[in-house]
């Protein structure tokens, strides 16, 4: 099938390369000339494991191309995917200006039946708006569909190539058929394709993210209580998750959830509800708990040093919002660093992939170091924010020798408190008594 994917970010690149790998001809287009220039030089502008190989393979095979010619890609395509950003607007709603701009360009370049499928996360009713905008510019037939994307950064290729489910929302039978045949090779049984109306599909995406975020905020809130009660949230997590009705995933307490999706999608869902006269109390609480949680690590550091960090050096391990990505959007590490700097600390930060993205935010207010051990040099405290593999089993004896005072703030509960205390560290995690 001839496809156009508009927007070459985390979603557009993975989807474009994934569709091409299944034999489709895919034109990936973007208005960002710099990004397209890098892609044309064979560089991948983001860090996502396996993406460079997948892009190289399919570009070489002639099935995947990159350009800024959005109009041309639309004219050649049977299916046009909208994968542009939908960031938070000032009032918390989703900013749909990029989606609407693309819809207009599609309308102006219609030359036969096309399916227009929105992969971007968009509020309920956006498919109707997209349809209305396209209709203003053309009398050609087309079908609009909502096709929300559920990939996770860091594991995006796997999620896209072997999806748990594919959601297709459209009131247009032909569009549903075209998308079904496009996705059939990705799913072992057709049961995993969920066809529904566009509004239901749009709401499914927000419902999924809000429920996952609810689990995390619930555990983060409970972790604070566990600390007060002298219980270990990690033991509680494992035992609670052993109930198959609950399951073990997305119950890990931490420094608050970040990323380009949960915070903005929750905010947009709350906004949608408010506009409809409905107060989503539970989701509002999820958001509030998360805002508070992002300060928990900073508060622990401050409390440990009696409320003052002037003259103190704090090492920070992990800047990306999660491992296996260079994405720092809404990362709890940024909040921690701001809190540490505000309290007068000197910060030495390390991340395997995200340092180039963080550097412009802090300039020389933060020292960025090339090795993880260098972050511990002369430090009074070491805070773990992102659970990259290499931070899981470091040489703690070496770390202890490097630090000025050996205190560890384990934001992901990945270390063994007993072992660390036996080495001579002062240790705290999240909700571990
Ligand atoms: N990142 C994720 O893990 C993820 C997962 C599922 C869904 N989503 C949703 O997918 C959408 C895209 O997310 P992302 O993380 O890939 O965003 P991104 O910011 O990484 O990429 C968006 C791209 O769209 C381009 N763009 C903006 N306006 C354009 C226009 N008018 N024409 C052509 N290109 C344009 C930008 O230049 C940018 O390269 C968002 O709605 C997001 O909520 C993201
Ligand atoms: O038990 C957990 C699981 C996750 N997190 C945090 O939650 C955030 C989001 O993590 P994750 O969901 O793994 O990454 P995303 O790439 O943001 O993916 C989410 O957001 C995407 C965009 O909508 C969806 O497509 C995915 O299905 C959904 O998992 C990160 O800060 C994690 O550290 C926790 O604190 N505890």
CATH code of 288's domain: 1.10.1040.10
Neighbours of 411 (CB within 10 A): 26
- Asked whether residue 408 carries a pLDDT value surpassing 90, the answer given is yes
Let me know: does 11 contact 5? Beta carbons within 8 Å: no
Strand bridging mode 381-384 / 346-350: unpaired
| Residue the block writes with tokens 């091409």 | 20
Largest Cα separation within the chain, whole Å, is 75
Residue 372's domain comprises 294-428
Whether 342 and 388 map to the same domain: the answer is yes
> How far is the C-alpha of 297 from the C-alpha of 338, rounded, in Å?
12
pLDDT digits (tens, 9 = 90+) for 380-398: 999 999 999 999 999 999 9
pLDDT of residue 188: 73
Q: Is residue 80 part of a domain?
A: yes
Binding residues: 30, 35, 86, 121, 150-153, 205, 250-254, 258, 264, 322, 329
Whether 311 and 422 map to the same domain: the answer is yes
* 3-class SS of residue 377: coil
Whether 36 and 59 map to the same domain: the answer is yes
Whether 189 and 229 map to the same domain: the answer is no
Please name which of 72, 55, 66 lies closest in space to residue 20, comparing C-alpha atoms: 55
Phi, then psi, of 257 in degrees rounded to 5: -80, 145
Q: Is residue 151 part of a domain?
A: yes
Q: Report which DSSP code applies to 185.
A: G
Q: Can you point out the beta strands (E) in 39-155? A: 64-67, 79-82, 114-118, 142-146
CATH code for position 330: 3.40.50.720
Binding residues for NAD(+): 30, 35, 86, 121, 153, 264, 329
pLDDT of residue 217: 98
pLDDT-derived band at 98 (thresholds 50, 70, 90) equals very high
Mutate which of 4, 5, 8, 10 for ligand 1? The one with the most ligand atoms within 8 Å of its CB, which is: 10
Whether 300 and 273 map to the same domain: the answer is no
Q: Is the CB of 94 under 6 A from ligand 1?
A: no
Q: Is the CB of 32 under 6 A from ligand 1?
A: yes
Residues of the chain with pLDDT > 70: what percent? 99
Q: Report which DSSP code applies to 90.
A: T
Q: Is residue 413 part of a domain?
A: yes
Whether 210 and 265 map to the same domain: the answer is yes
Handedness of CA 259, 264, 267, 272 (dihedral sign): negative
End-to-end CA gap in the chain: 56
Whether 217 and 190 map to the same domain: the answer is no
Whether 250 and 345 map to the same domain: the answer is no
CA-angle at 365, arms to 347 and 385, nearest 5°: 40
Tell me if the pTM is above 0.90.
yes
Overall average pLDDT of the 89-111 stretch: 97
Residues designated catalytic: 261
Binding residues for substrate: 150-153, 205, 250-254, 258, 322
Whether 300 and 239 map to the same domain: the answer is no
**Region for 7 from its dihedrals, namely left if φ exceeds 0, alpha if ψ lies in -120 to 50, beta otherwise:** left
pLDDT of residue 191: 80
pLDDT digits (tens, 9 = 90+) for 240-285: 999 999 999 999 999 999 999 999 999 999 999 999 999 999 999 9
Q: Is the CB of 114 under 6 A from ligand 1?
A: no
Q: Output the CA 10–ligand 1 centroid distance in Å.
A: 7
User: Of the ligands numbered here, which is closest to the C-alpha atom of 120?
Assistant: 1
> How far is the C-alpha of 122 from the C-alpha of 96, rounded, in Å?
8
Mutate which of 6, 9, 36 for ligand 1? The one with the most ligand atoms within 8 Å of its CB, which is: 9
For atom 28 of ligand 1, which residue has the closest CA?
98
Overall average pLDDT of the 141-149 stretch: 98
pLDDT digits (tens, 9 = 90+) for 164-215: 999 999 999 999 999 999 999 999 766 899 999 999 999 999 999 999 999 9
Q: Is residue 329 part of a domain?
A: yes
Burial 248-274 (b: 16+ CB within 10 A, else e): eeebbbbbbbbbbbbbbbbbbbbbbbe
Long-range contacts of 267-272 (CB under 8 A, 24+ apart): 267/88, 267/92, 267/93, 268/86, 268/88, 268/92, 268/93, 268/94, 268/121, 268/123, 268/206, 269/206, 269/210, 270/92, 271/91, 271/92, 271/93, 271/94, 271/123, 272/93, 272/123, 272/124, 272/206
pLDDT of residue 190: 64
Q: For the purposes of burial, counting CB atoms within 10 Å of the CB of 117, is it exposed (0-12), middle (13-18) or buried (19 or more)?
A: buried
Whether 299 and 280 map to the same domain: the answer is no
> How far is the C-alpha of 185 from the C-alpha of 75, rounded, in Å?
25
Q: Output the CA 153–ligand 2 centroid distance in Å.
A: 8
Q: Is residue 136 part of a domain?
A: yes
Whether 341 and 279 map to the same domain: the answer is no
Q: Is residue 201 part of a domain?
A: no
Query: Residues near 44 by Cβ (< 8 Å), separated by ≥ 6?
Result: 13, 38, 51, 52, 55
Whether 282 and 302 map to the same domain: the answer is no
Q: Report which DSSP code applies to 322.
A: S
> How far is the C-alpha of 105 from the C-alpha of 220, rounded, in Å?
44
Q: Which atom of ligand 1 is nearest to the CA of 86?
A: 41
| Residue the block writes with tokens 């460079």 | 52
Q: Output the CA 281–ligand 1 centroid distance in Å.
A: 29
Ligand 2 pocket, Cβ-based, cut-off 6 angstroms:
121, 149-153, 209, 212, 216, 250-252, 254, 257-259, 261-262, 265, 321-322
Interface predicted TM-score of the whole assembly (ipTM), two decimals: 0.98
Last residue of a domain, one of 136, 171, 196: 196
Strand bridging mode 366-368 / 193-196: unpaired
Last residue of a domain, one of 262, 292, 322: 292
Q: Is residue 433 part of a domain?
A: no
Last residue of a domain, one of 292, 322, 346: 292
For atom 27 of ligand 1, which residue has the closest CA?
84
Mutate which of 216, 318, 330 for ligand 2? The one with the most ligand atoms within 8 Å of its CB, which is: 216
Q: Is residue 254 part of a domain?
A: yes
- Asked whether residue 328 carries a pLDDT value surpassing 80, the answer given is yes
- How many domains does the chain fold into? 3
pLDDT of residue 344: 97
Let me know: does 252 contact 413? Beta carbons within 8 Å: yes
Strand bridging mode 2-6 / 79-82: parallel
Overall average pLDDT of the 303-313 stretch: 96
> How far is the C-alpha of 35 from the C-alpha of 84, rounded, in Å?
13
pLDDT of residue 76: 98
């Amino acid at each position: 099938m001839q496809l156009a994917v508009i927007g070459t970010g985390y979603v557009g690149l993975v989807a474009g390369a994934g569709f091409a790998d299944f034999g489709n001809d895919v034109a990936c287009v973007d208005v960002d000339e710099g990004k397209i220039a890098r892609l044309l030089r064979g560089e991948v502008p983001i860090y996502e494991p396996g993406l460079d190989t997948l892009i190289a393979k399919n570009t070489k095979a002639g099935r995947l191309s990159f350009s800024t010619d959005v109009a041309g890609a639309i004219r050649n395509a049977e299916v046009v995917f909208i994968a542009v950003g939908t960031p938070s607007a000032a009032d918390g709603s989703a900013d749909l200006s990029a989606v609407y701009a693309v819809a207009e360009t599609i309308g102006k370049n219609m030359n036969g039946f096309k399916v227009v499928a929105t992969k971007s996360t968009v509020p309920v009713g956006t498919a109707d708006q997209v349809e209305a905008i396209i209709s203003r510019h053309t009398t050609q037939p087309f079908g609009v569909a909502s096709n929300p994307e559920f990939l996770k950064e860091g594991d995006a290729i796997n999620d896209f190539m072997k999806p748990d489910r594919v959601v297709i929302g459209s009131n247009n039978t032909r569009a549903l058929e075209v998308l079904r045949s496009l996705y059939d090779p990705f799913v072992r049984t057709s049961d995993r394709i969920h066809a529904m109306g566009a509004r239901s599909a749009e709401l499914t995406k927000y419902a999924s993210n809000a429920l996952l975020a609810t689990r995390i905020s619930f555990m983060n809130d409970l972790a604070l209580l566990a600390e007060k009660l002298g219980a270990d949230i990690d033991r509680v997590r494992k035992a609670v998750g052993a109930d198959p009705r609950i399951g073990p995933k997305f119950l890990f307490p931490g420094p608050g959830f970040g990323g380009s999706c949960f915070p903005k999608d929750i905010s947009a869902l709350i906004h949608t509800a408010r506009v409809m006269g409905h107060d989503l109390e539970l989701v509002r609480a999820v958001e509030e708990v998360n805002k508070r949680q992002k300060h928990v690590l900073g508060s622990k550091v401050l409390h440990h040093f009696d409320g003052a960090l002037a003259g103190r050096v704090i090492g920070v391990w992990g800047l990306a919002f999660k491992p296996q990505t260079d994405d720092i959007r809404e990362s709890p590490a940024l909040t921690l660093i701001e809190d540490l700097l505000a309290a007068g600390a000197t910060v030495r930060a390390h991340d395997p992939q995200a340092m180039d993205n963080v550097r412009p935010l802090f300039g020389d207010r933060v020292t960025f170091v090339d090795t993880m051990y260098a972050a511990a040099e002369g430090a009074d405290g070491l805070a773990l924010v992102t659970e990259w593999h290499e931070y899981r089993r470091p040489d703690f004896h070496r770390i202890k020798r490097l630090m000025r005072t050996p205190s560890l703030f384990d934001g992901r509960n990945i270390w063994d408190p007993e072992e660390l205390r036996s080495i001579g560290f002062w240790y705290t995690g999240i909700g571990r008594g």
